[in-house]
């Protein structure tokens, strides 16, 4: 078999065999196949697509290219969730303790922030002492003891994806549905859970800009998961606007704790309830309405909050910060953003607001940047809200005062004002079963 023939076959629009896909993945990881050849194949896939069978095979080969987590030592139903990336998306911090409080086992590997989107691991590390680097034995022991543990991805999880993703990033081939689906699902399959709920975002802050494209991606990922014998659902949710009101690591932990304590209704609470209820449906085979009612109960009666405290304690985090969030470190500088006009907010562009938060220091512009956990944004107004000229629409926070000028400009470019009220979009577009 020759990589040259595989590239030519895909270039000409033919379907690759399982053997050809396996040959590519194995030999690219080992270095036999060169980056320029893999790039050509990625572009051919980008242009000509992949069938469901090809996508499932590619995913399984990538999943099996490194460690496959064995969670059989954990009793009970192992569940996972994955978001395709968003701004202000702290859903894992809320959903994981909810479903753990209802008896699911959450043995979760999460990622760091990427581009304008945040990552759960960075958020958890903003809690002093919180350890996301447990050994596999400690990870399993913690899940068996508390029902929940969230750690960073191990170095050898789906190494084929790591290599292929870096190549796609540099060759304008990220935005291909079969390639995104196989990239995400290879890591989910290697992470070993029985049930997976995917939060597929659409809108300005997401990879998929339209709900129709998000639906195609969601369907592809559900097909892959089922093909691999998993119980999978996808919830398609809006990411035109940041989720919730806080963006930035400590700020997002604080907002998640507020919701876990109060169960207060908000866009964030609604997405969390939908994700958690779908996990419960998959885990226990009950009807959605019953699952939703159980989720609301543990959110309101403090059991989900109690699980969050247990998780923080078990992973070495300072529980007193969660109990008294006013004690979290605060940014040295704060600046209010004011509405330039009377009227309504027509759009709060998630990508621009997420990028402004990165400029403030809440994310990394390069992979070696150090995060300022105190940096970020609190939104006081969002799409659809009425505003008066001079009213505070947001507060910006950073330890480095020099970051405000460009962050402010980026932030304000994301706010669109209008005399007319904005049309409301549904928060949840669809659930793919
Ligand atoms: N997230 C991933 O892990 N992979 C992609 O291709 C896109 C988003």
CATH code of 172's domain? 3.40.1030.10
Query: Residue 153's pLDDT is what?
Result: 85
Q: How sure is the predictor about 170, in pLDDT bands with cuts at 50, 70 and 90? A: confident
Choice from 45, 62, 63, 84 to test ligand 1 binding pocket (greatest atom count within 8 A of CB): 84
Query: Residue 18's pLDDT is what?
Result: 97
CATH code of 372's domain? 3.90.1170.30
Q: How far is the CA of 18 from the centre of ligand 1 (A)?
A: 22
Domain boundary among 274, 301, 323: 323
Residue 237 catalytic?
no
Whether residues 412 and 316 share a domain: the answer is: no
Whether residues 264 and 134 share a domain: the answer is: yes
Domain boundary among 269, 300, 323: 323
Residue 83 catalytic?
no
Question: Is residue 127 included in any domain, yes or no?
Answer: yes
| Secondary structure element (H or E) that encloses residue 149, with its range | strand 148-152
Written as six digits, the tokens of 106 are: 């959450």
Whether residues 336 and 411 share a domain: the answer is: yes
CA distances from 397 to 20, 372, 400, 410, 426 (A): 51, 10, 9, 14, 30
Written as six digits, the tokens of 270 are: 């609604």
- Residues near 103 by beta carbon (within 8 Å), at least 6 away in sequence: 76, 77, 147, 283, 284
Question: Is residue 284 included in any domain, yes or no?
Answer: yes
Choice from 85, 115, 168, 184 to test ligand 1 binding pocket (greatest atom count within 8 A of CB): 184
Atom 2 of ligand 1, nearest CA residue: 184
In angstroms, the CA 303 to CA 351 distance is 34
In angstroms, the CA 346 to CA 388 distance is 14
- What's the N-to-C CA distance of the chain in angstroms? 38
Whether residues 336 and 300 share a domain: the answer is: no
Contact yes or no for 224/185 (Cβ under 8 A): yes
The whole domain housing 43 covers 3-49
In angstroms, the CA 381 to CA 391 distance is 10
Residue 17 catalytic?
no
Contact yes or no for 217/178 (Cβ under 8 A): no
Query: Residue 37's pLDDT is what?
Result: 97
Question: Is residue 63 included in any domain, yes or no?
Answer: no
Q: How sure is the predictor about 330, in pLDDT bands with cuts at 50, 70 and 90? A: very high
Question: Is residue 69 included in any domain, yes or no?
Answer: no
Residue 161 pLDDT > 80 = yes
Q: How sure is the predictor about 203, in pLDDT bands with cuts at 50, 70 and 90? A: very high
Considering its fold, how many domains does the chain have in total? 3
Q: Is the CB of 165 under 6 A from ligand 1?
A: yes
Whether residues 396 and 286 share a domain: the answer is: no
Between strands 78-83 and 195-202, the pairing is parallel
Whether residues 398 and 262 share a domain: the answer is: no
Question: Is residue 160 included in any domain, yes or no?
Answer: no
CATH code of 36's domain? 1.20.970.10
Whether residues 343 and 274 share a domain: the answer is: no
Whether residues 341 and 312 share a domain: the answer is: no
Which of the following is catalytic: 112, 168, 245, 381? 168
Atom 7 of ligand 1, nearest CA residue: 180
Q: How sure is the predictor about 34, in pLDDT bands with cuts at 50, 70 and 90? A: very high
Domain boundary among 303, 323, 343: 323
**Dihedral angle computed from the Cα positions of residues 153, 221, 234 and 256, in that order, rounded to the nearest 10 degrees:** 20
Question: Is residue 226 included in any domain, yes or no?
Answer: yes
Whether residues 33 and 114 share a domain: the answer is: no
Which of the following is catalytic: 183, 186, 193, 339? 183
- Residues near 178 by beta carbon (within 8 Å), at least 6 away in sequence: 45, 49, 50, 54, 55, 58, 220
- Is residue 374 left, alpha or beta, with left meaning phi > 0 and alpha meaning psi from -120 to 50? alpha
Q: How far is the CA of 184 from the centre of ligand 1 (A)?
A: 5
Residue 183 catalytic?
yes
Whether residues 209 and 308 share a domain: the answer is: yes
Between strands 415-418 and 428-432, the pairing is unpaired
pLDDT tens digits, one per residue of 85-119 = 889 999 999 999 999 999 999 999 998 887 788 88
Q: How sure is the predictor about 368, in pLDDT bands with cuts at 50, 70 and 90? A: confident
b/e per residue 161-175 (b: at least 16 CB within 10 A)? bbbbbebbeebebbe
Residue 168 catalytic?
yes
In angstroms, the CA 79 to CA 102 distance is 12
Whether residues 236 and 295 share a domain: the answer is: yes
Question: Is residue 239 included in any domain, yes or no?
Answer: yes
**Dihedral angle computed from the Cα positions of residues 200, 139, 268 and 388, in that order, rounded to the nearest 10 degrees:** -110
Q: How far is the CA of 169 from the centre of ligand 1 (A)?
A: 10
Whether residues 229 and 307 share a domain: the answer is: yes
């Amino acid at each position: 078999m020759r990589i040259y023939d595989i590239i030519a076959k895909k270039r000409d629009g033919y379907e690759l065999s399982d053997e050809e896909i396996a040959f590519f993945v194995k030999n690219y990881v080992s270095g036999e196949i060169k980056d320029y050849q893999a790039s050509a194949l990625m572009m051919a896939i980008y242009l000509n697509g992949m069938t469901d069978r090809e996508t499932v095979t590619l995913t399984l080969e990538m999943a099996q290219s490194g460690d496959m987590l064995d969670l059989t030592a954990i009793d009970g139903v192992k569940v996972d969730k994955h978001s395709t990336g968003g701004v202000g998306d702290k859903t894992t911090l809320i959903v994981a303790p909810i479903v753990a409080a209802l008896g699911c086992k959450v043995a979760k590997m999460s990622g760091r922030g990427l581009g304008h989107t945040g990552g759960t691991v960075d958020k958890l590390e903003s809690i002093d002492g919180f350890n996301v680097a447990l050994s596999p034995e400690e990870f399993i022991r913690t899940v068996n003891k508390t029902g929940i543990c969230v750690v960073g991805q191990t170095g050898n999880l789906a190494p084929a994806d790591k290599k292929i993703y870096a190549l796609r990033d540099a060759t304008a081939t990220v935005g291909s549905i079969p390639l995104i689906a196989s990239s995400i699902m290879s890591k989910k399959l290697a992470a070993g859970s029985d049930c997976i709920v995917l939060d597929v975002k659409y809108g300005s802050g997401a990879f998929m800009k339209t709900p129709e494209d998000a639906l195609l991606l969601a369907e592809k990922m559900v097909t892959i998961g089922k093909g691999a014998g998993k119980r999978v659902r996808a919830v398609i949710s809006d990411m035109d606007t940041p989720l919730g009101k806080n963006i930035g690591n400590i700020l997002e932990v604080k907002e998640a704790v507020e919701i876990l304590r109060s169960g207060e209704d908000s866009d964030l609470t609604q997405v969390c309830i939908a994700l958690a209820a779908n996990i419960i449906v998959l885990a226990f085979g009950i009807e959605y309405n019953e699952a939703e009612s159980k989720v609301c109960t543990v959110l309101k009666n403090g059991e989900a909050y109690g699980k969050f405290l247990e998780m923080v304690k078990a992973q070495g985090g300072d529980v007193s910060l969660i109990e008294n969030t006013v004690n979290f470190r605060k940014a040295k500088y704060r600046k209010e953003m004011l509405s330039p006009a009377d009227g309504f907010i027509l759009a709060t562009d998630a990508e621009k607001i997420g990028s402004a938060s990165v400029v403030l220091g809440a994310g990394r512009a390069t992979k070696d940047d150090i995060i300022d956990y105190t940096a970020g944004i609190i939104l006081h107004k969002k799409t659809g809200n009425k505003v008066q000229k001079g009213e505070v629409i947001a507060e910006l926070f950073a330890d480095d005062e020099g970051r405000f000028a460009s962050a402010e400009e980026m932030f304000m470019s994301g706010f669109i004002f209008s005399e007319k009220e904005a049309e409301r979009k549904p928060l949840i577009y669809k659930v793919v079963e």
